């Protein structure tokens, strides 16, 4: 096994490119000995801080994005479809969701990865609006990651003035460090080297930067599809 690599993934739950990157990186956690640090964060605050805008705000980009995501979903064998009116329907705003995810990371880190996966599926497979109680409620549905009491408690904590301020300040600090969108990926090698990557299509670039001990061999490095 190659030397461990710390990898921080900054993501938002309604960012389709973040979903692809999350899935791609999870598949390489063992082959590349990744120490995966999931960092849920509100994309809107990053965009506001650095003056960026959602790709779908440009009609040509929006059309291309839908077609490209369809290909990527097939490539990664994901049940993934953009909900109607994405991303401008107010029912898809993730501010409160990302406030919740920040608290979840702090208080229940052991379920963060599975919770992230479940919420991506809830949004992109079932198209459940993020503003619906059923969205976060899916975390306490069988097989439950949180009890109803835990869900209520964490939701209350997420609405504290302190958590709201920290969600914004952390996103602004990330933008000050150079981030302009999600997924934003930061890698740190054991030799002290550090580099940031943007986007879901950087696996070969990451492999090259890490070195020959970290070969990229496609979207299914451990032959998971053949065992399904």
DSSP E strands, the chain: 5-11, 34-40, 184-188, 194-198
8 is catalytic: no
Q: Residue 200 in contact with residue 17, Cβ under 8 Å?
A: yes
Secondary structure of residue 85 in the 3-state scheme: coil
From the candidates 15, 18, 138, 158, which is the catalytic residue?
15
Show Cβ contacts of residue 110 under 8 Å, excluding neighbours closer than 6 positions: none
The end-to-end CA distance of the chain, in Å, is: 25
**Residue 197 per-residue DSSP state:** E
Catalytic machinery residues:
15
């Amino acid at each position: 096994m190659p030397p461990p690599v710390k990898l921080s993934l900054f993501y938002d739950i309604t960012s389709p490119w973040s979903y692809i990157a999350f899935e791609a990186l999870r598949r390489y956690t063992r082959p590349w000995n990744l120490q995966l640090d999931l960092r849920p964060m509100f994309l809107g605050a990053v965009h506001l801080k650095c003056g960026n805008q959602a790709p779908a705000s440009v009609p040509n980009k929006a059309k291309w994005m839908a077609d490209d995501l369809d290909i990527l979903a097939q490539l990664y064998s994901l049940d993934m479809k953009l909900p109607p009116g994405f991303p401008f329907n107010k029912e898809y705003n993730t501010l409160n969701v990302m406030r919740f995810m920040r608290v979840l990371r702090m208080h229940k880190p052991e379920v963060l990865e599975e919770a992230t996966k479940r919420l991506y599926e809830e949004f992109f497979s079932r198209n459940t609006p993020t503003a619906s109680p059923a969205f976060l409620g899916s975390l306490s549905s069988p097989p439950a990651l949180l009890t109803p009491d835990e869900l209520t408690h964490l939701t209350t904590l997420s609405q504290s003035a302190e958590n709201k301020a920290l969600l914004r300040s952390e996103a602004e600090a990330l933008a000050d460090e150079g981030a302009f969108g999600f997924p934003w990926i930061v890698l740190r090698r054991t030799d002290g080297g550090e580099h940031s990557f943007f986007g879901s299509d950087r696996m070969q670039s990451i492999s090259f930067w890490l070195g020959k001990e970290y070969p990229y061999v496609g979207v299914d490095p451990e032959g998971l599809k053949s065992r399904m």
